Amino acid sequence: MHKLLARQLAKAAKGSGELDVEILLGLVSEAYGQSDSDRQRTDRSIALMIGELEQLNRGLDQLVQERTAALREREFELQAQNLRFDAALENMPVGLCMFDRNDYLIVCNERYGAMYGLTSEQVKRGVTLRSILEARVAAGNSPEDAERYVEQRLAEVRRGQPYYTENVMRDGRVVAVNYRPTQDGGWVATHQDITAQK
């Protein structure tokens, strides 16, 4: 038996043990009234919470829309900047290459690959400086002492100091290389055929 019903029956019992139905009905009616009142308060609380959640949701939706619009705008700006960067890179009169701190190629222009007879696969992003130097040696686009040349270039890069060198290729061309380290530990180099000036 439910505890509430047991208490109501105890209150409705007369001294003789008989049950006073009117008192019992009053107690039951009062319990239903309290239950209705509690349910209404709960319903109001739930309605308020739903209202607050909907308001928060609208605010989040607006924030997401604003941030999405800002990201799209930034993406368009980056695309435009990348197009300008690519145009500048490909229209430079010199070969350019940029490597990260671990000697992996980040970017180079077509002129750089063409100067040394390298394929796009040999100068794709992520290849190492050593593999590029070895590909240049294999293509015949290096000085006569190829092994020394490769090790010397790698040692110069490891020092992390700016340097300038002129390399006489096996075919007689003279290529000037201007190397500059970057703040993140990587480096950028320009390569220019200066045979005519020499």
Domain tally, the chain: 2
Q: Does 198 reside within a domain? A: no
pLDDT over threshold 80, residue 89: no
Which residues span the domain enclosing 62?
3-85
Residue finishing a domain among 85, 103, 121? 85
Give the pLDDT confidence of 117-143 residue by residue, as tens digits. 999 999 999 999 999 999 999 988 888
pTM of the shown model:
0.61
In residues, how long is the chain?
Answer: 198
| 132 within domain boundaries | yes
Name, in order, each residue with C-beta under 8 angstroms of 128's C-beta and a sequence gap of 6 or more: 103, 104, 105
Domain boundary among 66, 85, 104: 85
pLDDT tens column, 147-193? 888 999 999 888 889 999 998 999 999 999 999 999 999 999 999 99
Is 11 in the same domain as 62? Answer: yes
| Domain boundary, last residue among 85, 111, 143 | 85
CATH number of the domain to which 110 belongs: 3.30.450.20
Q: Is the model more confident about 84 or about 132?
A: 132
Query: How high does pLDDT run on average in the chain?
Result: 88
- Say if residue 77 is in the same domain as residue 110: no
Answer yes or no: is pLDDT of 65 > 80: yes
